[in-house]
Amino acid sequence: MKHIKDFRILGFLVIALINMIQTTTQAKIEPQEEESKDVKSCLFECMACRELWGAIYDGHACASGCFLTQGASIDQDCRLGANMPKRYAEIKSTDQCKKQCELCSMKFTSHKYDRNKCLDTCSLTNGKSRDASCSKYLTLYKVLGASNKV
């Protein structure tokens, strides 16, 4: 009986070994072709432009161009995949918003105006959340003129 158990174990191990060999030979991974130096440089520029300009820059279109032209469409100035007028308009709007924050903080020196929160909001919204009335970031009890603390 002991020999029969040994043969069963040996048979099981042989079958497992054959299955493992078949699995590894069927799942061969084909080596991918290395991209050229020009394509890599082009892709690096796409990545740098995307990091610089964020969602305004179309990184996918830039990368596709790199592959299609074998790197000849390199965008060193970050102009090919971006809407330049929109980009400059957002920068200008953010700067104007920040200037408004500075004016509000100077105007309400006796009140508590949260200048830093205002500046952060300008940056996060690309200048769309402008505090033109200087009331958005004032502390409520100072604005209402309450003299006693609650």
Q: What is the pLDDT of residues 104-118, one digit of tens each?
A: 888 887 678 888 889
What pLDDT, in 10s, does the model give residues 58-76?
Answer: 888 888 888 888 888 888 7
Q: What is the DSSP letter of 36?
A: P
Bigger pLDDT: 122 vs 53: 122
pTM check: above 0.75: no
pLDDT band at 149 (very low <50, low <70, confident <90, very high): very low
User: In terms of C-beta density within 10 A (0-12 exposed, 13-18 middle, 19 or more buried), how is residue 143 classed?
Assistant: middle
**Is the pLDDT at 147 greater than 60, yes or no?**
no
**Is the pLDDT at 43 greater than 80, yes or no?**
yes
**Is the pLDDT at 3 greater than 60, yes or no?**
no
Contact 102, 122 (CB under 8 A): no
Q: What is the DSSP letter of 134?
A: S
Which pLDDT score is estimated for 143? Answer: 45
Q: Alpha carbon 118 to chain centroid distance?
A: 23
Dist. CA 39–CA 37, nearest whole Å: 6
pLDDT mean over 84-103: 81
Dist. CA 87–CA 79, nearest whole Å: 10
- List for the chain the helix, strand, coil content (%; round to 5): 60, 5, 35
CB-CB neighbours of 94 under 10 Å: 19
What pLDDT, in 10s, does the model give residues 79-90?
Answer: 766 666 666 777
Q: Name the helix (H) or strand (E) containing 107.
A: helix 84-107
